[in-house]
Structure 1
Amino acid sequence: MAMSTGGNSGGPMSEINVTPLVDVMLVLLIIFMITAPLMSHKVQVVLPIANPHKEDHEPIEPIDLAVKQDGSLFLADNPVSETELKSQFAIAAAKSPQPELQIRADKDTPYKVVRQILGDAKDQGMVHVGFITTGKD
């Protein structure tokens, strides 16, 4: 603690010693001066714009697939076979932007049936898949 040398009080000084603060600030200034040029990119490239949202496009209608407990398939409430379903998946996968496949499976449907549908959709190129459920009873 610093002591006053003059005057008649003779008590401790209440002034802040700023020398350590100045030392720290100078070190930080030197560090920023060295690292700032490294933050800029030397090679300039023109980056593409990422899929801007357009206001004039209409929403994409999802593909509705219902699966009953016995494994029967209904595409948009119409019965469909596995081969027809695969061809519909291929057609939908070729669209841009790709519609979402929404699966409504009965709660007692064996998982292997749903797994087979997911595998077929993936094989045909479908990437957007969702499951439709009901709220908690």
Structure 2
Amino acid sequence: MAMSGGGRSDDEPMMDMNTTPLIDVLLVLLIMFIITIPIQSHAVKVDLPQPDNRPQNNIDPQKNKITINAQGQTFWNGSPVDEVTLTQYLDQTVAMSPQPELHFQPDATARYEVVDGVLAIIKRANVTKLGFVGNEQYRGDF
């Protein structure tokens, strides 16, 4: 009770080509081709210069000046510094004999948190010769 289709009787040979094995072989070849393709990277290799982490020699053997502007930026002898560089400079000055003077001059409108943070760094460095410069700007306030 099999159904026959297309007007062909059961005793005639099938004339259509079986494409299933062909498709299977093509899929296997496609997968092997995809696996063997090298991974493309769009990176451009450039040799960049390495930063020099040693502090520059901005230390005066007589006196050094730390200033803080109104925006809260810290400067060592006129050059902007971050907290790590400031600590390195202070450690170098403390090791000098005789220890140079350190002048501290915050701007009148600088935030207290910034000034307090710099003073804490100075205290941790054990600076013994510290002077506050520019206190005359507060003369009329008290």
Relative to the length of structure 1, the TM-score reads: 0.52
Q: How does 1:31-70 map onto structure 2 within 5 Å?
A: 61-70=62-71
Partner residue of 2:23?
none
Does residue 107 of the first structure (1) align with residue 111 of the second (2)? no
Tell me, in whole angstroms, the C-alpha distance in 1 between the residues paired with 2:131 and 2:87. Answer: 17
Partner residue of 2:91?
90
| 2:111 aligned partner, one-letter code | P
Tell me, in whole angstroms, the C-alpha distance in 1 between the residues paired with 2:93 and 2:120. Answer: 15
Q: How does 1:119-130 map onto structure 2 within 5 Å?
A: 119-130=120-131
Tell me, in whole angstroms, the C-alpha distance in 2 between the residues paired with 1:105 and 1:117. Answer: 10
Provide the aligned C-alpha RMSD in A.
1.8
Tell me, in whole angstroms, the C-alpha distance in 2 between the residues paired with 1:89 and 1:126. Answer: 7
| 2:114 aligned partner, one-letter code | V
Partner residue of 1:74?
75
| Larger displacement relative to structure 2 (104-113 or 85-94) | 104-113
Shift of 1:90: 0.4
Partner residue of 1:26?
none
Give unmatched runs, 5+ long, in structure 2.
Answer: 1-60
Give unmatched runs, 5+ long, in structure 1.
Answer: 1-59
- Give secondary structure in 2 for the equivalent of 1:64: strand
Tell me, in whole angstroms, the C-alpha distance in 2 between the residues paired with 1:117 and 1:93. Answer: 16
Relative to the length of structure 2, the TM-score reads: 0.50
Q: Give the structure with higher Rg (CA).
A: 2
| 2:98 aligned partner, one-letter code | P
Partner residue of 1:117?
118
Query: What is the total number of aligned residue pairs between the two structures?
Result: 78
Shift of 1:112: 2.0
Tell me, in whole angstroms, the C-alpha distance in 1 between the residues paired with 2:107 and 2:133. Answer: 10
- Give secondary structure in 1 for the equivalent of 2:75: strand
| 1:103 aligned partner, one-letter code | F
Tell me, in whole angstroms, the C-alpha distance in 1 between the residues paired with 2:65 and 2:81. Answer: 12
Tell me, in whole angstroms, the C-alpha distance in 2 between the residues paired with 1:107 and 1:69. Answer: 7
| 1:76 aligned partner, one-letter code | N
Does residue 132 of the first structure (1) align with residue 133 of the second (2)? yes
- Give secondary structure in 1 for the equivalent of 2:128: coil
